Structure 1
Amino acid sequence: MLTPDEIERYKRHLVLKEIGGEGQQRLKAARVLVVGAGGLGSPLLLYLAAAGVGTIGIIDDDRVSLDNLQRQIAHDSGSVGRAKTRSAAATLERLNPHVKTKLYTTRLVPENALDIVRGFDIVADGSDNFATRYLINDACYFAKLPLVFAAVGPFDGQLTTFRAFETDAEGKPRPSYRCLFPQSPPAGTVPPCSEAGILGAVAGVMGCLQAVEVVKELLGIGEGLVGRLMLYDALQARFSTVAYTWDPENPLNGRNPRFRDLSHHRKAAAEATE
């Protein structure tokens, strides 16, 4: 049940026929894991907390740095040097004391990924490297959890939702991240934002859109982004959407899957350190 304070806090939701009291209680009971408390994770976390998502998991092994504050708005100057998980949790507590946070001040790795994601209803990926994105995708597939993915460039962004553990109305498997991006780009071809730069507000746009899609998935409202990739071009002030489908050759949920667990990630990590 919602408390009188929560009824007052969420009354703009309660008057929406798509949400109402029942939907708000579903948000209160929901458990969302946010991977990364940086540029994407910051606005995403803020809006999930403001929306009344009951339990928010935050996983990030990094610390707040001054050169990231132009986009990582869950943190402030006084948080520099502090673990991002703890800094973000403190911000969410100030914003909405009804929200519980579960912190993982560690890196998501093959050894812990499944145990962590299985404690939640949905995962939102705000990570900044391809190895982690593939790992999250595979872990969500094996855990049968929806995954809302977003990524940003200097002046652009991408957004989609994966439910690869399901089939569509025709019985065909739904696509995963591996269908959209079969292989990660060669090392060194995609510079990190520390080298390429980024307009901070672009991360804000994509993080907010990611929060919208998470709430839609939790409530089962509207049309989701499964099989559709939303593209944002900030310089042209343009949104576009392109369709993509299941790749029967993909190694995760293709016709002849090669991946049965996360052991291939352990092998790849070991090879990378040799």
Structure 2
Amino acid sequence: MDAQLKLPETQEIPLVCRSCEARHGGICSTLTTQQLAELNKHSQRRAVEAGTELIGQGELVTSYSNVLKGVVKLQKIMADGRQQIVGLQFAPDFMGRPFLGESLMTAEAATDTELCVLPRRLLERMIGESSDLGAKLHRQALLELDEARDWMLTLGRKSAREKVASLLVLIATHTEPEDIRDCAFDLPLSRADIADFLGLTIETVSRQMTKLRKDGIIHIENNRHVIVPDFERLSVAAGGD
């Protein structure tokens, strides 16, 4: 193995990186300690409130981000102002598209969110230097492509009940990836945003949530906190096997 690629002792890793979720599960897991130290010198942690626009569609890209906490919603906006939520990003997702001058969509914090902001030029240089980093970003891009294709099926063929259940499955699998059998989470989207994301009316979303609750598939507390006592039942409700 090339000596440059060997991982030095753990104590050399910057302190702020050691307990970071993106360090272990995100793109930073592919970096050497020297690269982590260099990136740490130029990165910045940023806490943003729900509703904060992180970058607008068509804006110049000067940085990328790792999502450390919270949920980010991605939106496409038409020339006449109509918009559509086209995706969600969770920790430890990488937010941005390397080597692209302008953002193709708007990114907005759906919940209170914490980001690690990375300078564009530095990260793009590291991508050129590290095949592992490039491969990690490639895998995330392919995963997002697979999820987009699955979502096309959800929007095009599933019933309203299946659509709502599919969104809950999506959130659950990203919120509790290690123990999905019995999970709980706060909805990161309002009923209006859920309706927008699913192509339904707000009334239909509320009605289907109520039906899932009455069937015992989910429990809802304080209108936003969702408890899933049996993930398999939710998965079946979403049209799964």
Task: Give the TM-score band, short-chain normalised.
Answer: under 0.3
- What TM-score comes out, normalization by structure 1 length? 0.25
TM-score of the superposed pair, with normalisation by structure 2: 0.27
CA radius of gyration, larger in: 2
Q: Which has the higher helix share?
A: 2
Higher percent of residues as strand:
2
